[in-house]
């Protein structure tokens, strides 16, 4: 087993004794190359077994057909990533996805690495507040679209869910079923959606005139933290009778922690998840429209690729309440 | 907003009036370049604002730190992809994942596209029987590792689950709880794992002396197909009292189709899934060891990158029965 190194255009140029530009012109079927040079290059291409690769396409200014997607994680289900992929494919584009693990340093590293590979564009689920490290790439013409959260310090096309409307809908739904003491357990506030949803919840509580003490629990999505938040909300003389969870992972941890006691609590989850309908009771959720988010992100990217001068847009996608049972229980008699 | 095109090494060479090779040497701090040329190149680099990018790293034979992963889909949860990503990151590598959508043509297209980008290596969840289109890439030194299914017509490092042992364990578990008529509903047999699991099930039935007529149902993972398979298995004078499902999506579709009638059937699913423990009854599964599969795939790839002459390995990873309730019911009295 011997390792044959893939021949490059430079090898072809040296073998043919011509300039690299000439090889590039021949590979791109430029008719202005003289026959003698063209034949020498073709002979070298044949002799070396050279095939033009993606780099060659870049050197001649072509598009790669590849779109980078930097998302929070690759392991859990990610319906927006699926929608990005489906829409991209419908337009002849391939999505290369990579995980930021919700770490700012990691995001910068993987996104700049993708920029260095001259993909046709990048779809980003931003972490942190500052994305100015992308200014130079944007100036250089790299199309970038943010989704789920806005990018900070740069002006790029963005698709987000209507987080405030979603929390408002969940809150009014629970109030409509008689709940006065509603708790919120969600993501960390350093994450945009975590902040948006917690802030919207505080605004709902303030408007209702109910004190929020012990009811608002943003933080890391970790079993122990969520268990402690639940215990705090359900404790004391005036405990919560209902809970709004800020994301699907939190919903599942709440159900795990409560076990059969989940039957005593009304629950509305932000984000739908695969088996919400199979649980008993089935889980009422505020569902994000992942298909529309993914499709819109790719459409914005395609339009940006086609015309980098068009006005930058932020599209807010509606959310939808899906009533399944867990959010329609009256306050528990013990409360 | 004006679009500045990113300057290339070729631009630097032209601006400095030197050969491309000279620019490459300066960028790589080659001390054999004379001071005059080095200064001219540095001046051109400064004037044009050139920064060496990933292509430059390739031109000088460096590694990109990027690993491609071609997997069935990006939208549903993919625990192996998560494990690939985690292990890769621990070794300073970044995973770029792309979906084959379980289509052979799509796989060839996306994998060759990744090969053309000179990633450090590719981890592939193969579709179809022939992967000879990769022979040339393997000869050229591209490290490739297959997981979940072997690649056909090429010899590459491979990680698979012990599918036959898993089906055998599920079958004996159900027999041990008194089930004589066990049905199997799984993936299409054109997919390696679908074939392996269906074949193992047939072998189990044959060894038990039980006729298999109406009990073996490989096919597409689609609600109508799965509903029809279930109806066939549960119909007639001697219906199935237990079912083994060949993957998590099928398990969920079986539960959806049966609704409350699921309580009459013993169920063991191949593949664990996120909320199997939250369903009532909780679902007994044969769990694949996704962490070990992902970690092993990255380790094999790293070793292959380091030494392309080492012997090719196939690693079979054990599966584990997780008992939760659905697989421990006795045959329904009505059967």
Q: What pLDDT digit, counting tens, does each position of A280-318 carry?
A: 889 999 999 999 999 999 999 999 999 988 999 999 999
Q: What pLDDT digit, counting tens, does each position of A65-83 carry?
A: 899 999 988 876 678 999 9
Chain B stretch 64-123, residues whose beta carbon is closer than 8 A to a beta carbon of chain A: 64-66, 68, 73-79, 81-86, 89, 94-99, 101, 106, 109-110, 113-118
Q: Which long-range contacts (CB under 8 A, 24 or more apart) does B168-171 make?
A: B168/B200, B168/B204, B169/B286, B169/B319, B169/B321, B170/B244, B170/B268, B170/B270, B170/B286, B170/B321, B170/B327, B171/B201, B171/B204, B171/B205, B171/B208, B171/B244
Helix axes A35-48, A20-27, angle to 10 degrees: 90
> How far is the C-alpha of A97 from the C-alpha of B85, rounded, in Å?
11
pLDDT at residue B310, rounded to an integer? 92
Q: Do B274 and A279 touch (CB under 8 A)?
A: no
Q: Do A274 and B278 touch (CB under 8 A)?
A: no
Q: Do A53 and B279 touch (CB under 8 A)?
A: no
Read off φ and ψ for residue A78, nearest 5 degrees.
-135, 85
Which of A50-54, A320-324, B16-20, B212-216 is predicted least confidently? A50-54
Rg of chain A's alpha carbons, rounded to an integer? 26
Among residues A188, A207, A191, A329, the alpha carbon closest in space to that of A268 is found at A329
Kindly list the residues from chain B whose CB atom is less than 8 angstroms away from the CB atom of residue A281: none
Cα angle A174, A180, A185; round to 5 = 65
Chain A stretch 182-221, residues whose beta carbon is closer than 8 A to a beta carbon of chain B: none
pLDDT at residue A29, rounded to an integer? 66
ipTM of the complex: 0.75
Cα angle A298, A74, A290; round to 5 = 40
Share of chain B above pLDDT 70, in %: 92
Q: Is residue B125 a contact partner of residue B100, using CB atoms and an 8 Å limit? A: yes
Looking at per-residue pLDDT, the higher value among A225 and A74 belongs to A225
> How far is the C-alpha of B263 from the C-alpha of A48, rounded, in Å?
66
Q: Is residue A126 a contact partner of residue A152, using CB atoms and an 8 Å limit? A: yes
């Amino acid at each position: 087993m011997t390792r044959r190194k893939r021949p490059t255009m430079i090898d072809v140029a040296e073998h043919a004794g011509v300039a690299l530009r000439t090889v590039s012109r021949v590979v791109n079927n430029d008719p202005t190359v003289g026959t003698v040079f063209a034949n020498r290059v073709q002979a070298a291409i044949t002799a070396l077994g050279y095939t033009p690769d993606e780099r060659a396409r870049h050197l001649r200014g072509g598009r790669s057909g590849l779109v980078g997607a930097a998302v929070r994680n690759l392991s859990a289900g990610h319906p927006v990533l699926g929608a990005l992929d489906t829409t991209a494919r419908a337009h002849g584009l391939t999505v290369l996805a990579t995980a930021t693990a919700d770490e700012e340093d990691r995001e910068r590293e993987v996104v700049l690495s993708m920029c260095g590979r001259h993909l046709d564009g990048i779809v980003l689920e931003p972490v942190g507040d500052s994305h100015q490290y992308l200014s130079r790439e944007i100036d250089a013409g790299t199309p970038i679209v943010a989704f789920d959260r806005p990018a900070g310090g740069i002006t790029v096309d963005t698709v987000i869910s209507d987080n405030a409307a979603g929390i408002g809908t969940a809150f009014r739904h629970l109030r409509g079923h008689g709940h006065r003491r509603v708790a919120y357990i969600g993501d960390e506030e350093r994450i945009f959606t975590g902040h948006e949803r917690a802030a919207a919840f505080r605004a709902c509580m303030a408007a209702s005139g109910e004190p929020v003490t012990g009811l608002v629990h943003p933080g890391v999505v970790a079993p122990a933290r969520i268990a402690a938040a639940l215990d705090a909300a359900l404790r004391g003389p005036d405990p919560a009778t209902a809970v709004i969870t800020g994301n699907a992972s939190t919903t599942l941890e709440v159900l795990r922690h409560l076990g059969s006691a989940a039957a005593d609590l009304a629950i509305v989850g932000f984000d739908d998840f695969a088996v919400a309908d199979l649980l008993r009771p089935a889980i009422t959720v505020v569902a994000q429209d992942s298909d529309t988010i993914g499709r819109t992100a790719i459409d914005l990217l395609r339009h940006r690729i086609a015309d980098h001068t068009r006005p930058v847009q932020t599209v807010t996608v509606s959310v939808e309440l899906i009533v399944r049972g867990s959010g329609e229980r009256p306050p528990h008699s013990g409360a």
